[in-house]
Amino acid sequence: MGKTKKKTRKSSTHGNQPELKGDLTCPYRDLAAEGKGEGLLFPFDEKALAQLARGTAVVIATCLALPDAIAIIPTSTSAVSWGLRLIGIWTIAAVAWFVGFLFLTGVFRLISGGVVLTAKGLKVSRFDRLIPYETIHSLSLEPNYFFTRIFSLPETARRLTVLFDLGFGGSIVKKFLFPNFLPSFFFTTATFDSLVLHLVERCGMVQPAEPSLVSGFSLSRSGELSRIAATFRFMAKQRVLVTVIIVISLVSFLGRKAVVNFAYNQGNKIYAQGRYDSAREYFEWAVKTDPTFAAGWNLLGQTHYRLAERNLTDFKKARSCWRTAILCKLDFVEPRINLARIALIDRDFDEALRLLVHAGKLAPSDALSRLMEAELLLKMGRLDDCAAQLAQVRKMAESKAGLTRSQRMLADCLSAQCKFYSGDQKAASAAIGGYSLEPANYHNDENVTLLLSSRALIDCRPDLAEAAVQRQPNNPDVLLQAAFVYLQQPALKSAQLKEDARCRSLLNLAAERSGGVNPWVGTLYCQLAFLGHDRPGALAFAKEALLVPEQNQDAVALSYLSEILQKNNCFELSKEAEGRAFALRARKLNRQFSILPS
């Protein structure tokens, strides 16, 4: 019987190759043979990166779609429409992530190239610092089944952990080991196996167990186990901490996004129904959850504005919300236009023009800012400029996407008032003659009050003026136009007490809300006093209208005052009023404003 030779396992001391089986001739590039440097380059694989991009796209799109699944509930008409919209959102997110991730990894692959093994050490990328082999204390290969399953990778993902010291510094620095991770999903399987084999071949270490490229292994240098074990324990705790932080951050971010978008969409839906009190609660919920949500602040300002029009709150809250919206998003156009609306109500024409100039610079093709500028010119009594601005808006709309229904209605109403104050009542009537006077036929974003008020002026109908006042009892312009309509009634000119009392009541409300900066208040009071044969009172009101500062004046109001005074033989004051009106029309507007917010 022959002697059997007992096999013994050699310790993997420095210079001895570990008992790992594999193919050392797997794909890599010899940079020295190519004349491009030294060492072996293990390239990143384009197909592997594409598979990673596909897997991550599914996960990321799902995470991003979850808050939208809740957010679109208020605006979905049925479960089918909700599902179709959700699929669309998921598809867009998946495609966007896939394309973006693939582009970035392609750039990374082009710049980095891959992992390089030189005669002296390891370079994780072509331009990374060299890690000398003698500073590497441990090599650990482990499969990651969770990562493989969640990203649907075709083969089990593995991670090679390289623990090394910096090779410089004092004794305290040298005590620490630092990790570097090489994931398998950047390479083909053969390339990654070859990289592991070559790296192990050049780093002789103690083998604590049978090493395997499939189930993993952990190799280390002699006498380093306690130090390496301490590093791995620290890394395990660090991994748990990072995982907890990521989970909390994701839940916080996605949960907050879901709440904000749901509240915003629900508020928007209720706002469109005209239930401003309820809509305000949802918008407040949205901005409370995310104080930087500019769109939420803008619509919260809209609800406050609508409530202020009905005298249920004041315009200061709306102004504050819109300013906050601009602070959250400096290039936000809509709140600037909305602030210009309040400036027009306050007859702060310089501020209104500044805001509209800003809006025009930020969005040159926006028709609403130009229409608001036409309204500004109308309130200043610059009728020719207003007509020219409206013509410019219509011409611009023809060459672009056109005006929306609400913008077209606004343009027609402004055009009608402009023609009415110019004395062309027939053309004014034709401008808005095709519009229904039934508010139920219009959407919430259409200015029905302006339509009713314009029609009341042209047709001299107190019932339409009262309907406009009922919709916006806190708007001084609406109140004054209603008083103007009453003053044109034959009954009032015959000193009927009922109409006189209503006209005076409207003027009192307008005077209270305008703060002494609207010349129409004094002008219409003057007309009413002359009708009541109160000449001293009429002259006092006329002088009050003339005392309104130039930046708040209205050339049409002054011309109308001049006519009233001339009919009552007050020629000197009439001449002064007409002279002031002419000067206002001739004054050049200052449009040189900085785009920076004030």
Residue-wise pLDDT tens digits, 234-267:
888 988 998 899 888 888 888 888 899 999 999 9
List, for residues 488-525, the tens digit of each pLDDT value.
887 665 555 566 788 999 999 999 988 889 999 999 99
Long-range (24+ apart) CB contacts under 8 A made by 453-456 are 453/477, 453/478, 453/481, 453/482, 454/413, 454/416, 454/417, 454/420, 454/428, 456/481, 456/482, 456/485
In the chain, the amino acid numbered 152 is: S
Proportion of the chain above pLDDT 70, given as a percent: 90
Proportion of the chain above pLDDT 90, given as a percent: 52
Contact 545, 557 (CB under 8 A): yes
Task: From residue 63, give the alpha-carbon distance in Å to each of 90, 251, 252, 565.
Answer: 9, 10, 12, 72
Torsion, Cα 546 548 549 551, to 10 degrees, reads: -100
pLDDT at 400: 67
CA pair distance 262, 469, nearest whole angstrom: 35
DSSP 378: H
Q: Comparing C-alpha atoms, which of 300, 333, 330, 334 is closest to residue 317?
A: 300
Contact 384, 423 (CB under 8 A): no
Dihedrals phi, psi of 111, to nearest 5 degrees: -75, -50
Degrees (nearest 5) of the Cα angle 379, 380, 382?
Answer: 110
DSSP 185: G
Site of tokens 């609800």: 303
Q: 154 lies in which domain range?
A: 29-231
pLDDT at 595: 55
Taking residue 487's Cβ as centre, other Cβ atoms within 10 Å add up to: 20
Establish if 385 belongs to a structural domain: no
CA pair distance 293, 310, nearest whole angstrom: 27
Taking residue 232's Cβ as centre, other Cβ atoms within 10 Å add up to: 16
Establish if 401 belongs to a structural domain: no
CA pair distance 471, 482, nearest whole angstrom: 12
Its sign, for the CA torsion 525, 526, 532, 537, is: positive
Report the Cα 309 to chain-centroid distance in Å: 27
234 CB contacts (<8 Å, ≥6 apart)? none
Establish if 202 belongs to a structural domain: yes
CA pair distance 415, 378, nearest whole angstrom: 9
Contact 200, 19 (CB under 8 A): no
3-state helix, strand, coil in the chain (%, to 5): 65, 5, 30
111 CB contacts (<8 Å, ≥6 apart)? 125, 126, 127
pLDDT at 15: 39
Token digits for 422?
């110019």
CA pair distance 39, 118, nearest whole angstrom: 4
Report the run of H or E that residue 150 belongs to, with start and end. helix 145-150
Strand partners, 218: 140
pTM listed for this prediction: 0.73
Q: What residue ranges of the chain have pLDDT lower than 50?
A: 1-18, 22, 208
CA-atom Rg of the chain in angstroms: 39
CA pair distance 403, 397, nearest whole angstrom: 6
Looking at the structure of the chain, the number of domains it has is: 1
Q: Comparing C-alpha atoms, which of 530, 554, 532 is closest to residue 542?
A: 530
Establish if 425 belongs to a structural domain: no
Establish if 562 belongs to a structural domain: no
Neighbour-count burial for 520-556, b at 16+ CB within 10 Å, e otherwise: bbbbbbbbbbbbeeeeeebbebbebbbebeeebbbbb
In the chain, the amino acid numbered 149 is: R
Long-range (24+ apart) CB contacts under 8 A made by 60-66 are 60/93, 60/94, 60/97, 61/90, 61/91, 61/93, 61/94, 61/97, 62/90, 63/250, 63/254, 64/89, 64/93, 64/254, 65/89, 65/90, 65/93, 66/254, 66/258
Q: Comparing C-alpha atoms, which of 585, 581, 530 is closest to residue 558?
A: 581
3-state secondary structure at position 132: strand
Give the largest CA-CA distance in the chain.
147
Contact 200, 17 (CB under 8 A): yes
Establish if 561 belongs to a structural domain: no
CA pair distance 447, 344, nearest whole angstrom: 15
pLDDT at 461: 93
Establish if 84 belongs to a structural domain: yes
Establish if 170 belongs to a structural domain: yes
Q: Comparing C-alpha atoms, which of 373, 376, 307, 369 is closest to residue 345?
A: 376
CA pair distance 564, 493, nearest whole angstrom: 14
Q: Comparing C-alpha atoms, which of 20, 58, 251 is closest to residue 149?
A: 58
